[in-house]
């Protein structure tokens, strides 16, 4: 967003406050809020289009968003596996990019649901993937890594979503399986063409791909967008409490160093999640 992603929505609303994930203490509630009370410790995630983000001392969330949870990344993974592919025990899942926050959440969801998981990740992430219960973790920088991936899958979550990973993901699906990418074109086409042309163009683009993949490969193709939903938050909280879901935090920055924190992610100096802390 800082470099212009989503400008078709956000440009006319500038200045906006960045940030989606939040944790802290409830200081006030609306008159109809029943699910949380003042003083309670909560985690949450704002909607992707929120303009008053969470890089602030005080954030405003709707009741749904307020339920305790590990937020944005886990909700995105939940939306893919449970909202779209509706995975069931025993189904085989391939997570492309398990080293990232969404991919790692997806692995933990799938393992908790009793699904065998294969993932691609950097060599430094392999041990973490296996410890989280993945059956196989393959280094995406090793030569011919695709040859090491065995069998076909019921669902593929592609957190990278470039042409190469899409081709690979599709080729590993069983007929009737789901390919899900996090890199839907709705925002990029709207940013390029403006909202009025961009959104219909994205819909046509998506429909064309869905029809093409259904006819040629017999698979379902979807773009995944994070949504805060109460069922997902509840499940995530349960898994966290049972120690079955963890998102490692790599580094903490004070809120006054937001730009340094972004730079550390942009330049890949820090691999995992970054947390901004308030005094
Ligand atoms: N659509 C949505 O609603 C939504 C929601 C959240 C995020 N996203 C997008 O989804 C993407 C992932 O988000 P994230 O928060 O999980 O990112 P992240 O935590 O920054 O993770 C990125 C990871 O991808 C891995 N990687 C890079 N290239 C790879 C490749 N060719 N094959 C396999 N793994 C590769 C790296 O893992 P290693 O460390 O193992 O090398 C890296 O750590 C981002 O582009 C983000 O903007 C979309």
pLDDT digit string, tens, across residues 170-215:
999 999 999 999 999 998 999 999 989 999 999 999 999 999 999 9
Does the pLDDT at position 96 exceed 90? yes
pLDDT of residue 69: 33
Residue 236 has pLDDT above 90, yes or no: no
pLDDT of residue 63: 66
Q: At 42, is the pLDDT very low, low, confident or very high (cuts 50, 70, 90)? A: confident
Measured in Å, residue 100 CA sits from the centre of ligand 1 at 5
Q: Which of 100, 166, 187 to mutate to test the pocket of ligand 1 (most atoms within 8 A of CB)?
A: 100
Res 66: pLDDT? 42
Joined together, the tokens standing for residue 41 give 């410790």
Element holding 213 (H helix, E strand): helix 195-217
CA 184 to ligand 1 centroid distance, Å: 14
Confidence band for 64, pLDDT divided at 50, 70 and 90: low
pLDDT average, residue stretch 110-139:
97
pLDDT score for 46: 84
Domains detected in the chain: 7-71+232-277 (3.90.180.10), 73-223 (3.40.50.720)
Buried residues in 170-208 as b, exposed as e (16+ CB within 10 A): bebbeeebbbbbbebbbbebbbeeeeeebbebbeeebee
What separation in angstroms does the CA of 205 have from each of 131, 189, 195, 220, 221? 39, 10, 15, 15, 12
Name the residue with higher pLDDT: 88 or 144: 88
Q: What average pLDDT does range 270-278 have in this prediction?
A: 83
CA of 101 to the centre of ligand 1 (A): 7
> Can you tell me whether residue 211 is helix, strand or coil?
helix
CB 100 within 8 A of CB 130: no
Instruction: Give residue 107 CA to ligand 1 midpoint distance, Å.
Output: 13
- Quick check: bond before 106 cis, omega within 30? no
Which amino acids bring their CB within 6 angstroms of ligand 1? 72-73, 76, 96-97, 99-103, 120-122, 125, 140, 159-160, 182, 224-226, 271
pLDDT of amino acid 67? 38
Measured by CA distance, the residue closest to atom 29 of ligand 1 is 97
- Give the residue whose CA is nearest to atom 17 of ligand 1: 100
Element housing 10 (H / E): helix 7-10
């Amino acid at each position: 967003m800082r470099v212009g992603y989503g400008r078709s929505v956000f440009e006319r609303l500038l200045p906006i406050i960045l940030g989606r994930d939040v944790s802290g203490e409830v200081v006030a509630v609306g008159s109809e809020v029943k699910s949380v009370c003042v003083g309670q410790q909560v985690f949450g995630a704002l909607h992707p289009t929120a303009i008053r983000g969470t890089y602030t001392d005080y954030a405003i969330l709707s009741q749904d968003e307020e339920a305790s949870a590990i937020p944005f990344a886990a909700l995105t993974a939940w939306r893919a596996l449970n909202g779209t592919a509706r995975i069931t025990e025993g189904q085989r899942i391939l997570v492309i990019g398990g080293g990232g926050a969404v991919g790692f959440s997806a692995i933990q969801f799938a393992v908790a649901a009793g699904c065998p998981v294969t993932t691609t990740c950097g060599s430094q992430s392999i041990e973490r993937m296996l410890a989280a219960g993945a059956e196989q973790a393959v280094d995406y920088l090793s030569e011919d890594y695709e040859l090491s991936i065995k069998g076909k899958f019921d669902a593929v979550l592609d957190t990278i979503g470039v042409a190469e990973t899409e081709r690979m993901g599709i080729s590993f699906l069983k007929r009737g399986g789901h390919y899900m990418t996090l890199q839907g074109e709705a925002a990029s086409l709207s940013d390029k063409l403006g909202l009025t042309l961009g959104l219909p163009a994205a819909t046509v683009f998506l429909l064309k791909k869905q029809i093409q993949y259904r006819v040629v490969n017999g698979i379902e193709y979807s773009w995944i967008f994070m949504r805060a939903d109460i069922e997902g938050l509840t499940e995530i909280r349960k898994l966290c409490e049972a120690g079955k879901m963890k998102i490692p935090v790599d580094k903490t920055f004070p809120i006054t160093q937001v730009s340094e924190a972004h730079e550390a992610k942009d330049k890949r100096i820090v691999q995992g999640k970054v947390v901004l802390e308030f005094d």
